[in-house]
Structure 1
């Protein structure tokens, strides 16, 4: 008969248990050979079934051992490593966009340590910035850059041209058909591009230049204001800026409509610093500079 104590002791080892049960069943079958033939047949079938299960159990153990063998684990680790590398590669080469609305400012810190302060109604697109590689961003609007030095060039691309640096502080304003670049610290290369023409110049700290979409560029000039770029300090700093563009800046800053009733004012250019805490304060200073007046109307202001 089957020894129950031994049965439970062997239950932890499936291979030895199968062997024990098979032997026990054979003993039982020999003792009861005189029983009905159909019953003996059933015992034989049961014995074969146990032997088959024993073989299958051994195959399962071999299969599991193969699954967790050293070569299999190495392949799994390699696949996981490749997946992580692919995710990092895709994240670096994906384009990230940062935008500000009217009246908003935003600070963007890039992965290389560069800090970009976006002025209102501006957009910055950052492509992959990888260690040891050139760095490039796309700008529409205005931003102040504090570029971290790492030995590789940093490029700001606009619709008008390109600004290329290694590590410096500078401001780029690209609205409409013009790009204004002013350098606070270090040196930058400015390129004005069009299909027909390309103009280059080097700007040092304290210099400013204006580029146009036709590829032309003014000669670099000294920045006449210590507050430059101004907007980071809540002020407007205008350098040879058309008055119509000045009104556009007021619209973007305060999110109100500013309209010129006297169209001759469009031909004026403004150079100076204007406090910009409120729209009324800015308009008062500007209209005094050009000898004009302004009034408040529903939805905005009119300069006449």
Structure 2
């Protein structure tokens, strides 16, 4: 479908000026739509308008200046001011989004003094007003949070769940590509409330050393005590620890950790479970060799990564 832009300006100073004014106007309109606008587009458009204002305005010392020319000078100022305000608001209300590349980890210092360590492939989103209006974040992936005490509760939304605290330390594992759609919360210090977004009144409260799980089939998260809480946060020390994990979950973890692609070409094998511990995994090939030996598979390197087959 053809996209018709608004052209509200028809300056007497020529087509070039009309084009610049209308371009800035349309960019300002786009800021309130879902259209993506680059910083370069904004700067170029505003620079052109500023140039017009500075260099080509009418000379008021001349008696030849018409009221129409003065009108268009004012219009140029108004367009530039409106565009600056619009893009300023657009910037303020666009959330901060952090995405950790595969094969890397990151530590994020939040505006309220809290911090979060993010595992490979994780995504974190929060408002530019974080710590002032609220302390709400959204997580897809795995993160270890160290929360500074404050009056406002600290909330992490992750794939249908909410973790709410005032000041504590905890780990959340919640991947959108998890076949079980499972969120696992492990508390290492303090006290945490955990619940599904769809049933906030069914909260569970966890203290240090407790673990809770939730998936889409549950109304209320279940609570248990982890056998070894340090294993739950071993990823922070670059360890790989799998306890009765399905093979598809393990392969996704290896893809993120080693920034590669792994194709499982054994029908039905994705739900097979495996337990493994690597203090310092040397390479993805070494791990795949162990998996293949235990499961009776073979694996080979491809142009894009690896394939596992019978």
TM-score range, shorter chain: 0.5 to 0.7
1:11 is aligned to: none
Matched, 1:96 2:96: yes
Residue 263 of structure 1 deviates from its aligned partner by 2.6
For residue 152 of structure 1, give the secondary structure of its aligned residue in structure 2: coil
Over 3 Å counting, the alpha-carbon distance change for 1:109 and 1:190 in structure 2 is: same
Q: Does 1:219 align with 2:190?
A: no
Query: Which one is further off, 277-286 or 112-121?
Result: 277-286
* Structure 2 equivalent of residue 274 of structure 1: 278
Q: What's the offset of the Cα at 1:207?
A: 2.0
Q: Distance in 2 between matches of 1:119 and 1:239?
A: 18
Tell me if structure 2 keeps the 8 A contact 1:153–1:165. yes
Partner of 1:130: 131
Q: 2:257 — aligned with what? A: 253
State the match for 1:303 in structure 2.
308
Shift of 1:122: 1.5
Structure 2 unaligned segments of length 5 or more: list them. Answer: 1-87
Which whole-Å CA distance do the structure 2 matches of 1:104 and 1:274 have between them?
17
| 1:91 Cα deviation from its structure 2 partner | 8.2
TM-score, normalised to structure 2, is 0.60
Structure holding more helix per residue: 1
Q: Is structure 2 residue 209 aligned with structure 1 residue 202?
A: no
1:167-197 residue CA offsets vs partner (Å, 9 max, x unmatched):
1111111112221111122221111234x89
DSSP-derived class of the 1:302 partner: strand
1:95/1:125 contact within 8 Å kept: yes
Q: Distance in 1 between matches of 2:183 and 2:139?
A: 11
> Contact 2:154–2:166 at 8 Å: present in 1 too?
yes
Instruction: Determine if contact 2:171/2:185 at 8 Å carries over to the other structure.
Output: yes
Q: How many residues get paired?
A: 214
| Contact 2:300 2:308 (C-alpha < 8 Å) held by counterparts | no
Preserved CA contact (<8 Å) 1:235 1:277: no
**Structure 1 position 269, deviation (Å):** 3.0
Deviation sequence 1:81-104 (CA, Å, 0-9, x none):
xxxxxx9x9988652111111112
Note the residue ranges of structure 1 that are not aligned, 5 or more in a row.
Answer: 1-86
Match of 2:185 in 1: 181
- Aligned-residue Cα RMSD (Å) equals 2.8
- Compute the displacement of 1:199 (Å): 4.3
Which residue of 2 is the match for residue 157 of structure 1?
157
User: Residue 33 of structure 1 corresponds to which residue in structure 2?
Assistant: none
For residue 264 of structure 1, report the CA deviation from its aligned partner. 3.2
> The residue matched to 1:231 in structure 2 has which SS?
helix
More deviation, 106-115/270-279: 270-279
How many Å separate the matches in 2 of 1:294 and 1:149? 51
Residue 253 of structure 1 aligns to a residue whose secondary structure is: helix
The 8 Å contact of residues 164 and 194 in structure 2, kept in 1 or not, is answered as: yes
Deviation at 1:116, TM superposition (A): 0.8
Secondary structure of the corresponding residue to residue 227 of structure 1: helix
- C-alpha separation in 2, matches of 1:134 and 1:260: 43
TM-score of the two chains, using structure 1 as the length reference: 0.62
Compared CA separation, residues 297 and 147, structure 1 to 2 (3 A): same
* Equivalent position SS for 2:222: coil
Deviations 1:66-90 (A, max 9, x none): xxxxxxxxxxxxxxxxxxxxx9x99
Deviation at 1:237, TM superposition (A): 2.9
